[in-house]
Structure 1
Amino acid sequence: MTAYGTGAPRALDRDKLFAARLHAARVRPYLATALFALHTVESRQVPTMAVDRYWRCYVSPSFVDRTPVEELAGVWVHEVSHLLRDHHGRSDRVARERGLTGPGERLRMNIAADCEINDDAFGEGLLRPEGAVTPETLALPGGELMEDYLRRFRLGPRTQSLVWLDCGSGADGLDREWDLGPDGAYGLSDQERDAVRFRVARGITGRPGNAPRGWRRWAEEAFQPPQPWRELLGAAVRSAASGSGAGEDYTYGRPSRRSAGLPGVVLPSLRRRPPRVSVIIDTSGSVSDAELGSALREVSAICRAVGGRRDHVTVLPCDASAPLVHSLCRAEGIPLVGGGGTDLRTGFVRALRRGPRPDVVVVLTDGQTPWPRNRPPCRTVVGLFPRRHDSPAWDEDDPDYVPDAPPEWARVVVIEPTPGAG
């Protein structure tokens, strides 16, 4: 008599589960390292399959029983994608920055993360699992990131059928009761997780054209060696953008509570909007091509630091003048023209005169420029490419030239060169 006949719970069919993982690795070979790094944990508490941030995969035996191998392969790819794309860490950051709390908001994050993954994950030998949510499911455009999707939908009629969705703490950062935690068995260390991501990114970039667009975009960013100053720059921008007065405006859409004390008078309330950031990039002759390339990467990092709102970030290439202002759609499409002398004061003037006025100005420069005499009416962050005093580029045609240090009212972060760049 079978286990079903005796009423005993059926054991996890690991042969079927691992056959599905092997199929996933065959059709998505660039993900093989990550797929085989996951350690499976049998659990009757999870609805389907779920992951935690330590690269454990919790699996429901009944889900494996009722799901075809081809669909299970798609679930394997989906779950490991949450970990590779750091959805748990990104969800934690978004929750802090936007004040999102409660299980409902974490469900929204899980749905948004699924939209980012499932947009182009399936096809070409990989079957889409039944019930997989895609941007089309919510009438949303494709090709966006989790942070973008979060702004585009709320829980409602379109998401009622998704209340069962639970990809685990590895998808939204919220610990589950079934998680083994940081001290449990079979978890990967920080170094091991970074090594897996690095190998997957190398596999994608080493064979261009074989991976979908979303994976290529991820690999281009993940393949960059970790730089402590990048975190400092992002923290400096976030700190400036969240300071008192930044991103604040009055609105009559939600009257102030003080109106109750003034009959017949409607007072506006103060609301926060996403901060606006202007990025001035030094394109003078003293800045190398490698540093300009690094500057473009920082523009993308700055965009993420303020919540991913590309429409609130503008870029001004500037040497001795700043003729053009670019709205940020994709950093790689911004022409960095220049090559002459340096006077970034013109960039400040252009950034502050262009409406609406920015809440934060970020300057990426080698520092060989005059600075505004007066403090701008917004916060300023300077990303400084370091220079040695004995460097040939230091004198700028004047052996006695010593550039002014960034002013005291600017927050300065030194941007170290990427090893091997240039």
Structure 2
Amino acid sequence: MTAAPVFDENKIYAARLFAARARPYLATALYALHIVNSPRVPTMGVDRHWRCYLSPIFVAQRPVEELASILVHEVSHLLRDHHGRSDRYAHAHGLTSRADRLRMNLAADAEINDDAFGDGLQTPPDAVLPSTLGLPHGRLMEEYLGEFALGPWTDAVAWLDCGSGADGLRREWELGPEGANGLSDEQRDAVRYRVAHSIIGQPGSAPRGWRRWAEEAVHPPQPWRALLGAAIRSATFSSGTGDNYTYRRPARRSAAVPGAVLPSLRRTPPRVSVIVDTSGSVSDADLGSALLEVAAIARAVGGRRDLVTVLSCDAAARVVHPLCQAEDIPLVGGGGTDLRAGFEKALRSRLRPDVVVVLTDGQSPWPSRRPGCRTVVGLFPRIVFRSEENPDYVPDPPPEWTHVVEIGTSRT
């Protein structure tokens, strides 16, 4: 009977040193991993608490250089939060099976491996590349998940198991949150932050995928669509919006004033006007994304599409018109890119709006006086055109009486 191989810690430590020398910007993360000898793990895997489990047989079979590449691969799962992203994707799409988690593991591997190797790190012979799944390079895990399914052609990689650190599903061989030597949430964030700064501090030394990750780790993009929607709903349903008085139902306090009938306060659905600035510096993609909030506005006012009106310029009819037709939202078209004209038309309408929503890049004059309703501005990134006549031209910012959400940026 052959004795089980002894776990070779020195080989793993040598592989980690090799990996840190090949990818110095990942050194902090590589040395934050706690190595765990685990005969129950199939090969090598990580949990979400930054423990790295290794099979003694797997370590004995693989050379140091290959183990170094796999260590880089495993720590990449943790840095890129594949466990958290997998949990969110599974929740959003109602995925519950082990097969679904395997597909997430494969998609996460494809995201990592398309530019993980080379430049001192060899590609493991069984590494899952985007080409392994018949997919293009340079995508994110979530994009890959929408483009492939498990089948006979993926049977060859069904053995793959990078642990809960890759797909969020806890394994029986993992120690779990109560186990020793796991990193706290604060420690994990600190490791990610230091790695991101190492990448940003040495431009050109990391692949494009890692540079993109580092920028988002240091300057995380805010969910501007959610912020814009929240700002609109806050303005639409705040106190006083849509409030009116009626004598159809006298106020209860009328009893305290004999001989007088006092009106009661009635809340009606608010009226919303959306002014769309479709100047050339606003892309169709940005405009289309922001207009999705217009449809959300209609739903927010109880499905009363007649209470939402869109004023747009003809230049973006190909974007604005189809969406409004699909959502059955009244569309008032025509006009230039002068926001003052849009405000004037909205405020002179037969049913005066309670809230005005402006989608613009801001390169337009603004009304000199505050309108008698709440105003939310979705501000697209600006392209400032310089001229010889006025090289120091800077567009006027939105007035102080507006609630501004910067679209496509991290600031609000």
Q: Which residue of 1 aligns with 2:170?
A: 175
TM normalised by structure 2 equals 0.63
Does residue 1:398 correspond to 2:350, yes or no? Answer: no
Q: Which residue of 1 aligns with 2:384?
A: none
Does residue 1:353 correspond to 2:321, yes or no? Answer: yes
**Equivalent of 2:285 in 327, 335, 352:** 327
TM normalised by structure 1 equals 0.61
Cα distance, 1:81 vs. partner? Answer: 0.4
Superposition pairs of residues 228-377 of structure 1, within 5 angstroms: 233=227, 319=277, 325-327=283-285, 345-346=311-312, 351-354=319-322, 370=343
The one-letter code of the counterpart of 1:353 is H
The CA distance in 1 between the partners of 2:6 and 2:196, in whole Å, is 35
Cα distance, 1:138 vs. partner? Answer: 1.9
Q: Which residue of 2 aligns with 1:306?
A: none
Q: Secondary structure at the match of 2:53?
A: strand
Q: Secondary structure at the match of 2:36?
A: strand
The CA distance in 2 between the partners of 1:345 and 1:91, in whole Å, is 40
CA contact (8 A) 2:83 2:167 kept: yes
Change (3 A) 1:319 1:416: closer
CA contact (8 A) 1:352 1:358 kept: no
Q: Which residue of 2 aligns with 1:38?
A: 33
Does residue 1:210 correspond to 2:178, yes or no? Answer: no
Q: Which residue of 1 aligns with 2:17?
A: 22
The CA distance in 2 between the partners of 1:231 and 1:55, in whole Å, is 32
**Equivalent of 2:216 in 209, 214, 221:** 221
Q: Secondary structure at the match of 2:183?
A: coil
CA contact (8 A) 2:277 2:359 kept: no
Cα distance, 1:404 vs. partner? Answer: 2.3
Q: Secondary structure at the match of 2:12?
A: helix
Cα distance, 1:224 vs. partner? Answer: 1.1
Does residue 1:187 correspond to 2:185, yes or no? Answer: no
Does residue 1:136 correspond to 2:106, yes or no? Answer: no
The CA distance in 1 between the partners of 2:406 and 2:282, in whole Å, is 27
The CA distance in 1 between the partners of 2:79 and 2:326, in whole Å, is 34
Q: Secondary structure at the match of 1:327?
A: helix
Q: Secondary structure at the match of 2:121?
A: coil
Change (3 A) 1:226 1:350: closer
Which ranges of structure 1 fall in alignment gaps of 5 or more residues?
238-280, 283-317, 332-342, 362-366, 386-394, 408-412
User: In the TM superposition, what whole-angstrom CA distance separates every residue of 1:338-397 from its partner, at most 9, and x where no partner exists?
Assistant: xxxxx98427977441369677x9xxxxx998579899xxxx9x8999xxxxxxxxx956
Change (3 A) 1:225 1:141: closer
**Equivalent of 1:10 in 5, 20, 23:** 5
The CA distance in 2 between the partners of 1:374 and 1:20, in whole Å, is 74
Cα distance, 1:400 vs. partner? Answer: 5.4
The CA distance in 2 between the partners of 1:320 and 1:12, in whole Å, is 65
The one-letter code of the counterpart of 1:354 is P
Change (3 A) 1:92 1:236: farther
Cα distance, 1:183 vs. partner? Answer: 1.8
The one-letter code of the counterpart of 1:110 is N
Q: Secondary structure at the match of 1:18?
A: helix
Change (3 A) 1:322 1:143: same
Change (3 A) 1:206 1:14: same
Identity of aligned residues (%): 54
The one-letter code of the counterpart of 1:205 is I
Q: Which residue of 1 aligns with 2:303?
A: none
The CA distance in 2 between the partners of 1:320 and 1:160, in whole Å, is 50
Cα distance, 1:137 vs. partner? Answer: 1.2
Does residue 1:149 correspond to 2:117, yes or no? Answer: no
The CA distance in 2 between the partners of 1:69 and 1:125, in whole Å, is 13
The CA distance in 2 between the partners of 1:180 and 1:383, in whole Å, is 52
User: In the TM superposition, what whole-angstrom CA distance separates every residue of 1:257-288 from its partner, at most 9, and x where no partner exists?
Assistant: xxxxxxxxxxxxxxxxxxxxxxxx99xxxxxx
The CA distance in 2 between the partners of 1:125 and 1:222, in whole Å, is 25
Which ranges of structure 2 fall in alignment gaps of 5 or more residues?
232-273, 290-308, 330-338, 378-402
Change (3 A) 1:326 1:414: closer
Does residue 1:109 correspond to 2:109, yes or no? Answer: no
**Equivalent of 1:160 in 152, 155, 163:** 155
Q: Which residue of 2 aligns with 1:267?
A: none
CA contact (8 A) 1:115 1:135 kept: yes
Does residue 1:98 correspond to 2:93, yes or no? Answer: yes
Cα distance, 1:323 vs. partner? Answer: 8.1
Q: Secondary structure at the match of 1:58?
A: strand
Change (3 A) 1:236 1:173: farther
Aligned residues: 304
The CA distance in 2 between the partners of 1:31 and 1:235, in whole Å, is 38
Comparing 215-224 with 168-177, greater Cα deviation is found at: 215-224
User: In the TM superposition, what whole-angstrom CA distance separates every residue of 1:122-165 from its partner, at most 9, and x where no partner exists?
Assistant: 00100111200101112211110111111111111221110110
Q: Secondary structure at the match of 1:41?
A: strand
CA contact (8 A) 2:376 2:404 kept: no
The CA distance in 2 between the partners of 1:346 and 1:383, in whole Å, is 10
Comparing 188-197 with 344-353, greater Cα deviation is found at: 344-353
The one-letter code of the counterpart of 1:30 is Y
Q: Which residue of 2 aligns with 1:200?
A: 195
User: In the TM superposition, what whole-angstrom CA distance separates every residue of 1:74-120 from its partner, at most 9, and x where no partner exists?
Assistant: 00000000011110111111111112220011000000000000001
